[in-house]
């Protein structure tokens, strides 16, 4: 009995090598979404509204989950805060 060959997962090297990966606990999928809407560096997130980022993303990817908003809030907090509180560097800490 032959086993079917395993499919290899596609690795998103652009996202993994992005400066956005410096954000603690950020998922590669979130970084990919930020890249898809035009962000490549943490500093570019300063002054942005997370709700607006989610809206922009949903124009490109309508099935984007609502929890992406929490990750965007965390990322913007990290970008804007010189000495971020480690307790706030979890996406779940940003739920309504």
* Residue ranges of E strands in 1-96: none
In a domain, 7, yes or no: no
Query: How many Cβ atoms from other residues are within 10 Å of residue 45's Cβ?
Result: 20
In a domain, 5, yes or no: no
In a domain, 1, yes or no: no
Instruction: Record the pTM.
Output: 0.88
- When pLDDT is cut at 50, 70 and 90, the band that residue 2 belongs to is low
Which one has a higher pLDDT value, 2 or 11?
Answer: 11
CA dihedral (65, 70, 71, 73) positive or negative: positive
* Domain ranges, residue 47: 13-94
- When pLDDT is cut at 50, 70 and 90, the band that residue 87 belongs to is very high
How many distinct structural domains can be found in the chain? 1
In a domain, 2, yes or no: no
- Per the prediction, the chain carries an average pLDDT of 93
């Amino acid at each position: 009995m032959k086993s079917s060959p395993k499919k290899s997962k596609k690795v998103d090297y652009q996202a993994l090598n992005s400066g956005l990966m410096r954000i603690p606990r950020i998922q590669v999928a979130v970084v990919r979404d930020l890249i898809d809407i035009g962000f490549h560096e943490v500093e570019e997130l300063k002054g942005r509204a997370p709700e607006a980022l989610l809206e922009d993303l949903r124009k490109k990817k309508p099935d984007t989950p609502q929890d992406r908003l929490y990750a965007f809030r965390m990322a913007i907090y990290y970008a804007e805060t010189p000495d971020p509180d480690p307790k706030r560097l979890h996406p779940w800490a940003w739920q309504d």
